[in-house]
Structure 1
Amino acid sequence: MRIPLSWLAEYADLPAGTTPEALHAALVRVGFEEETVHGGELSGPVVVGEVLELTPEPQKNGKTIRWCSVRVAPDGQRAADGGEAVRGIVCGADNFHPGDKVVVTLPGAVLPGPFPIAARKTYGHVSDGMIASARELGLSEETAPLSGGGILRLTEIGLDPEVGTDAIALLGLDDAAVEINVTPDRGYALSIRGIAREYGASTGAAFRDPALEVAAPSTDDGAVRVAVEDATPIRGRQGCTVFVTRVVRGIDPTASTPRWMANRLRLAGVRSISLPVDVTNYVMLEIGQPLHGYDLARLQGGLGVRRAKPGEPLTTLDGQQRVLDAEDLVITDDRGAIGLAGVMGGATTEISDETVDVVIEAANFDPVSIGRTARRHRLPSEASRRFERGVDPAVARAAAQRAVDLLVELAGGTADPGQTWYDVAQAPAPVLLPALAVLRRTGAEIAEPETVAALRAIGCTVAPGEEGLLVLPPSWRRDLLEPVDVVEEVVRIVGYDRIPSVLPVAPPGRGLTRPQRLRRSIGTVLAATGGTEVQSYPLVSADQQAVYSPGPSMRVANPLDASAPLLRRSVLPGLLDAVRRNRARGLTDLALYEIGLVFLPAEGVGYGTAELPPIGARPAPELLERLLGDLPPQPVHVGAVLTGDRVAKQPGTAAEPVDWRDAIDVAARIAAAVGTTVRLRQATPPGYHPGRAAEVLVGEVVVGVAGELLPGSVEDVPGRVAAVELDVDALVAAAPTAPDVAPISAMPAATQDVSLVVAEAVPAGDVRDAVVAGAGALLESIALVDDYRGPRLPEGTKSLTFALRFRSPDRTLTAAEATAAKEAGVAVAAERTGAHLRE
């Protein structure tokens, strides 16, 4: 928001000599963000001059300059810089003639840039000043048209001042505007009215409300027929709550915008278009109420407000034909849609140079609806910017009257006495501020009279009560809904420096929960062993979902990217996207991991059907409970993806690419981080390579998968890709709550090997489990040391060799005892898997 100082001074008492920097400082004190300063860069002497004569002088470089004689002061008087009244000035432009009134910058002046002016010798002459163009003065082309891109001729913009007149004041260049950033919850500050009130609250300066300085009619006589239809309010909010129309007839279509108004619009960052349009923009900036003007002759019937019909066409003022959505709020006449309500008007009723009768509309629309429409059609506007932040519904009649008064005064129109006034806006609800609320929330000791004064400064009505202060927010502060909102306003006005800097005392507790500690342990172990943590987007496409975790999915109603509307069931798609981005930047040896939520809705169960809470207020506890109960299971998963080489190529050492064994190793590390061990069971999970992947189990609980990904699922990542994904919640639940530490035995171990022949299709893990089950408690450890397939074995079989270690906690085992335990294991393996000893 840009605030011209002269405009602000009409409604707030600015001290004489107030600088833009001082205004910025005052507004920063009440929570606004300082941006920059516009204007105020020009300093004099800059005067009106009259060209007496000029002589063209061609130069060797092909350019022709003009040696000009210019009068810069009346006869018999000295110029503003103390020099002669007639000056010799060199000028390169050719769009002016003797007798023209021009703007002359005398030595000592400084133009925007900064560009200081001094008498200097050029082209064989001493140029004692400069004849300026509009661009050099900092004027826009709309404010001061450029004749052929050259010198500003004052007669072209309707001015014929005396020679020697101060041109800075004449052209309104003595004003400046400060720019601030307005946060989304403070839409009232997108107006001179709102900023003047905030300046008064910051400095104590007197504030005059421009909305109270106009006398609007208080009745509805149906000057323009209006029908507001919103039979099915969206999200429980009515699209239009206020609609006011006024009519001004017989305006002069040739009337131009006065310079004072054009200058203020320019400083506020708004382009001057025509007087009727400029008046609506001026009132919007002044009072904060967006207005729209219609050519009465181009309207058919009355006005209406309704939701658009799906696919309904509309050509907006920018010349674009748009296809409307059923949520769009539109303004209509008897033909159909003639404007996007609160966003942009339509071309069919546009005010033109032939317009003589104007309908002024001032309305109040639902912020959510306007915000969504502006984004849906990629059509931001000054009106939508205000409506989506919330416009004061009580100011519509005053704004319409202000526009009417300006059109009557500046365009010579005649106002119809009546108005159309539709108003169903609800007053803000009062808020009870408990007696010690400010102290408890902020630690600042602010007396009740000071609290009351601060709230009244922002427009609240305050009444004392038994339990505290009853605060009625003003119509323009509908963001004040709860006591905490009121506390924030009190502290903002009295000053954030009143909040003491005190280190808070940590509440008593036991620290992190066990799942939290174990999740952190997983991340620490993965990072310590070379992994890099990433965070990917939880939204994926249907194709990505189908590769690694097919099944029912949650679809987001308004995804940021329409191609990725599903909440992920696996963390692998995001990790693989990160791999692709890193490989595209030359990083080939990668070990990336992520710990995050996945979303696993059950088949046939509906989710996302609970009532959505209104925005701007904390939902009631029972509504929160229903919302939480409407969510699908969201377990925490840890995933890791490894690509490239495990061991880089070195002199004398070949590179070792990653494979399924690395994924198994990562799964074992993760299990060790939570104090447990895992076992593997051969499987072919979706997206994994058959024969190079396995399910990961803790006991009999499957907690995830590990192995190599199917090359076809990662075609754009060359080489092997190892991946592991585990359900952290299931892993933590299956892990022992206390470490199971076995004592170190002093008894010697007895080691034996056994080679078993089984069918190739039998997983080695099944054979191992059978041997363990049969060998009994004396078996301390078992490891697969060889997997042989080849000659001297029957076709379709393989030989698995296991290294067995037996130990008794209280005696030395004999060879016979160890052999008996081994044979018992072989017997069970033969029974379960058909294995037999290799001869």
Structure 2
Amino acid sequence: MKFSESWLRTFVNPDLSTDALAHLLTMAGLEVEEQDPVAPAFTQVVVAHVLEVVKHPDADRLNVCQVDTGNGPVQIVCGAPNVAAGLKVPCALPGAVLPGDFKIKVAKVRGVESSGMLCSARELGIAEDASGLLVLPADAPVGESIRRYLDLDDTLFTLKLTPNRADCLSLTGVAREVSALTGVAAVYPVVEPVAPACDARREVVLDAPEACPRYAGRVVRGINAKAPTPEWMQKRLERSGIRSISAVVDVTNYVMLELGQPLHAFDDAKLQGAIHARLPKAGEKLLLLNEQTIDIDADVLVIADDAKPLALAGIMGGEESGVTLETTDLFLESAFFTPFAIAGKARRYGFSSDASHRFERGVDFAGAVRALERATRLILDICGGQAGPVTEAVAALPQRQPVRLRTARVNKVLGVPFSAEAIASLLGRLGLPFVQEGGDFVVTPPSFRFDIEIEEDLIEEVVRVHGYDEIPAPPPVARAAMLPMPEGKRQIQRLRQILADAGYQEVVNFAFVEEGWEKDFGGNADPIRLANPIASQMGVMRSTLIGGLVATLANNLKRKQSRVRIFETGRSFHKDAAAQPVAGYRQPWKLAGLAAGDALPEQWGSAARKVDFFDVKGDLEALLQPFAARFEKAAHPALHPGRAARLLLDGKEIGVVGELHPEWVQKYDLPSPPVVFELDLEPLLAGRLPQYAELSRFPAVVRDLAVVVDKGMALQSLLDGLKAQRPPLVQDIQLFDVYTGKGVDEGKKSLAFRIVMQDTQKTLQDAEVDVALQQLVALLEHQFAAKLRV
């Protein structure tokens, strides 16, 4: 909503500066987004009267003018093509400073002295037109400051209104707010019914009353459509961002800005029969005023006569029925269209309009006839003519349900004591009719307030008018107690710290993802779809965090970051009929990470190599400490077959780790396969209390044991068997070598283990060590068909 301050002050003129008024509106919820001067700063420019014009003796395109600036004639050389004797124009006197720091002084132009400069609108910075001098009305007072005469010290306000405040999409609405906020009485336009001077009329039929419950119109005959729009109206329209078109159209736009009611004028000679507010017939088309021909959708309300559609109701008129400069009779429309009937329809056709912007937010349904009378009077005053009687059809208008406001509730929500008298005063200033019942107020929202439906809406009105900045902000006081931190549980911040120490950086991605990511990385053909996605490529909820990490990797690679370590914690989303607390949707927390590029930063101490599965496996083992997870071969749609494993903790699967599948490496244009992992977060937050174990004072005995097993034998199962049935003396078993080749049969592999044995009570003897080793060899031979390598 854009308007000039001077126009607003004709309605209500509080004793506030421009900046203070802007601050007042902003603090009341009507944010002043822009506050611009009508014209840039300049000085010493006055209204001048051109007395005489003669050709310059030494220049064909210059004229020597005698100009009255209020202090007697002066000579000025001017090159404007439209300069002529008798004109009133702006004149910059010597010493004036024009926009762009252009200084005026007495000078000679081709040998002729010039004491000033006659100005165009562009030179004053008030318009882009540079075709000639700015011609002023003949009654402009000579010598008066042009800033004062043209009201160039005015300020343009642009309000950034929230969708619920449609009542402020007019000067009347904004003035009503300023009056309520300041207590200064507002003066609104006096609108008196125009007495019919002829019998011309058209019937109005509501064929879709649920979408258009009120429609009023009247015929105006014998107008002069070529009559010029008054200067004062043109100025107010232009400063509100609306271009002057013709007197009739300008009047409809002016009343819309003034009262908030969109209007439309039809050429009455182009209409046939009654006016209908109806839904379209199959196959109907309409050429709009913006020269766009549209196929009218079945749910779009139209205004039509007995033969054809005339306009998209509440959105835009049709070209074929619009008024022109040749129009002599017109049919003036003023209606109320329900917001649901208009909302989104204009955007569907790829445009918007001032009318649709207002109707889809809610227009005062009681003000249609008032706006019609106001527009009629202005048209008659400007264009002449005779008005017929008002024809109106009314169906079921919106019901304004009373809302109860409790004084105790106001005080509890706002934390500031308000008396019943104070609340009554504030409601009265807002123009909200109410009935007081003890400490309660039963408020009936007026027809122009579509945003008041519940008690909290009224509480907001009370604090708005009272002033948000008048609400004290005492420091919070709370009886806070330090909560115990259980040792058996880890904080998520600890997990973040471990990964950060390992060189990973945390990222935050959207939970809305591309549907293709779900198919590629999660094998999810039926993801949770969003009813209203914020972007077309973000239409489903993620069931895995891997897609976002791969996209982040690709983004970093494009910016020449070849070594990437990233992780993310967040929810994933899955369909689950038994899920709670959101019925039908399970939302587990996940921890996912990705490593790509070199295993180590570039350095001289180690040869460069790419990160691999075992690098990330080591990071995960550090993350899981003090727990030890099992890694088993697994298949996952995002991971490379044969280079992926699932993690098991206490026999329960908690996630996967592995190289990205070659197909996705190629599809997403990655130079090498990154290693990714995704884990359930909840098991990672479990801790383990430390337990006492006696440390031996006696030396440990270390023996190496090499066995030959089938090449397909899984190491993890072999280690599990050894550790489960190991002799009491054996403290640790670690694999330190895997060998295939010369000396080992085809289809076999050699595994070498380091066995650590120790006793807490004595030094071990060789005989005891040999017995323990023989027990391990026997276990390997009988349970895993292993043979001792010699």
**SS of residue matched to 1:775:** coil
Contact 2:303/2:311 (<8 A) preserved: yes
- Which residue in the other structure is 1:743 paired with? 693
- Of 199, 222, 225 in structure 1, the residue corresponding to residue 178 of structure 2 is 199
Q: Displacement, 1:324?
A: 5.6
| Distance in 1 between residues matched to 2:281 and 2:476, nearest whole Å | 56
- Which residue in the other structure is 1:151 paired with? 133
Q: Displacement, 1:317?
A: 2.4
- Which residue in the other structure is 1:404 paired with? 376
- Determine if the alignment matches structure 1 residue 36 to structure 2 residue 35: yes
Closer, same or farther: CA 705–39 of 1 in aligned 2, 3 Å: same
Within a 5 Å distance, the mapping from 1:132-281 to structure 2 comes to 132-140=119-127, 149-154=131-136, 159-161=137-139, 164=142, 166=144, 173=152, 175-210=154-189, 213-215=191-193, 223-229=202-208, 239-281=211-253
- Of 124, 129, 135 in structure 1, the residue corresponding to residue 111 of structure 2 is 124
Q: Displacement, 1:633?
A: 0.9
- Which residue in the other structure is 1:622 paired with? none
Q: Displacement, 1:222?
A: 9.0
Within a 5 Å distance, the mapping from 1:319-330 to structure 2 comes to 319-322=291-294, 328-330=300-302
Q: How many residues align?
A: 779
Within a 5 Å distance, the mapping from 1:607-686 to structure 2 comes to 629-672=582-625, 676-686=627-637
- Which residue in the other structure is 2:737 paired with? 786
- Which residue in the other structure is 1:526 paired with? 499
Closer, same or farther: CA 341–797 of 1 in aligned 2, 3 Å: farther
Closer, same or farther: CA 629–580 of 1 in aligned 2, 3 Å: closer
- Determine if the alignment matches structure 1 residue 583 to structure 2 residue 557: yes
- Determine if the alignment matches structure 1 residue 2 to structure 2 residue 2: yes
| Distance in 2 between residues matched to 1:358 and 1:819, nearest whole Å | 115
Q: Displacement, 1:322?
A: 4.2
**SS of residue matched to 1:151:** coil
- Which residue in the other structure is 1:496 paired with? 468
Q: Displacement, 1:591?
A: 1.1
| Distance in 1 between residues matched to 2:677 and 2:80, nearest whole Å | 74
Q: Displacement, 1:529?
A: 3.0
What is the identity percentage for the equivalent residue pairs of Structure 1 and Structure 2? 34
**SS of residue matched to 1:402:** helix
Q: Displacement, 1:466?
A: 3.8
Question: Residue by residue, what CA displacement relative to the aligned partner does 1:753-811 show, whole Å, maximum 9, x if unpaired?
Answer: 44343333333223222333333776544333222222222323323333344556777
Q: Displacement, 1:660?
A: 1.3
Contact 1:461/1:474 (<8 A) preserved: yes
Closer, same or farther: CA 828–382 of 1 in aligned 2, 3 Å: farther
> What CA RMSD, in Å, does the superposition of the two structures yield over aligned residues?
3.6
- Which residue in the other structure is 1:613 paired with? none
| Distance in 2 between residues matched to 1:39 and 1:579, nearest whole Å | 50
| Distance in 1 between residues matched to 2:483 and 2:350, nearest whole Å | 48
Closer, same or farther: CA 327–788 of 1 in aligned 2, 3 Å: farther
| Distance in 1 between residues matched to 2:180 and 2:253, nearest whole Å | 26
* Unmatched tracts of structure 2, length 5 or more: none
Closer, same or farther: CA 652–527 of 1 in aligned 2, 3 Å: closer
Question: Residue by residue, what CA displacement relative to the aligned partner does 1:83-117 show, whole Å, maximum 9, x if unpaired?
Answer: 32x22112232233445444333346565567565
| Distance in 2 between residues matched to 1:323 and 1:285, nearest whole Å | 30
Q: Displacement, 1:243?
A: 3.6
Within a 5 Å distance, the mapping from 1:21-100 to structure 2 comes to 21-34=19-32, 35-39=34-38, 41=40, 45-56=45-56, 65-72=61-68, 79-80=69-70, 83-84=71-72, 86-100=73-87
Closer, same or farther: CA 489–812 of 1 in aligned 2, 3 Å: farther
| Distance in 2 between residues matched to 1:771 and 1:425, nearest whole Å | 84
- Of 569, 581, 595 in structure 1, the residue corresponding to residue 569 of structure 2 is 595
- Determine if the alignment matches structure 1 residue 282 to structure 2 residue 254: yes
Closer, same or farther: CA 420–541 of 1 in aligned 2, 3 Å: same
Quick one: which amino acid aligns to residue 513 of structure 2? V
Quick one: which amino acid aligns to residue 458 of structure 1? L
Q: Displacement, 1:22?
A: 4.4
Closer, same or farther: CA 649–54 of 1 in aligned 2, 3 Å: same
Residues 689-698 or 328-337, more deviating: 328-337
Question: Residue by residue, what CA displacement relative to the aligned partner does 1:41-84 show, whole Å, maximum 9, x if unpaired?
Answer: 5665521422512324556xxxx552422332xxxxxx43xx32
- Which residue in the other structure is 2:517 paired with? 544
Q: Displacement, 1:265?
A: 0.6
Quick one: which amino acid aligns to residue 201 of structure 1? A
Closer, same or farther: CA 818–255 of 1 in aligned 2, 3 Å: farther
Q: Displacement, 1:272?
A: 1.0
Contact 1:132/1:152 (<8 A) preserved: yes
Closer, same or farther: CA 110–385 of 1 in aligned 2, 3 Å: farther
Contact 1:245/1:421 (<8 A) preserved: no
| Distance in 2 between residues matched to 1:402 and 1:516, nearest whole Å | 73
Contact 2:37/2:153 (<8 A) preserved: no
| Distance in 1 between residues matched to 2:218 and 2:443, nearest whole Å | 35
Contact 1:696/1:705 (<8 A) preserved: yes
| Distance in 1 between residues matched to 2:731 and 2:778, nearest whole Å | 18
**SS of residue matched to 1:49:** strand
Q: Displacement, 1:668?
A: 2.6
Contact 1:430/1:471 (<8 A) preserved: yes
| Distance in 2 between residues matched to 1:160 and 1:313, nearest whole Å | 49
Quick one: which amino acid aligns to residue 180 of structure 2? A
Residues 509-518 or 483-492, more deviating: 509-518
| Distance in 2 between residues matched to 1:790 and 1:402, nearest whole Å | 101
Contact 1:704/1:726 (<8 A) preserved: yes
Contact 1:47/1:168 (<8 A) preserved: no
Quick one: which amino acid aligns to residue 445 of structure 2? P
Q: Displacement, 1:205?
A: 0.8
| Distance in 1 between residues matched to 2:28 and 2:183, nearest whole Å | 12
| Distance in 2 between residues matched to 1:115 and 1:241, nearest whole Å | 59
- Which residue in the other structure is 1:619 paired with? none
Q: Displacement, 1:338?
A: 4.6
**SS of residue matched to 2:80:** coil
**SS of residue matched to 1:201:** helix
| Distance in 2 between residues matched to 1:547 and 1:835, nearest whole Å | 41
Q: Displacement, 1:705?
A: 0.9
Contact 2:407/2:418 (<8 A) preserved: no
| Distance in 1 between residues matched to 2:392 and 2:773, nearest whole Å | 99
Contact 1:241/1:424 (<8 A) preserved: yes
- Which residue in the other structure is 1:571 paired with? 545
Contact 1:65/1:90 (<8 A) preserved: no
Residues 507-516 or 264-273, more deviating: 507-516
- Determine if the alignment matches structure 1 residue 415 to structure 2 residue 387: yes
**SS of residue matched to 1:429:** coil
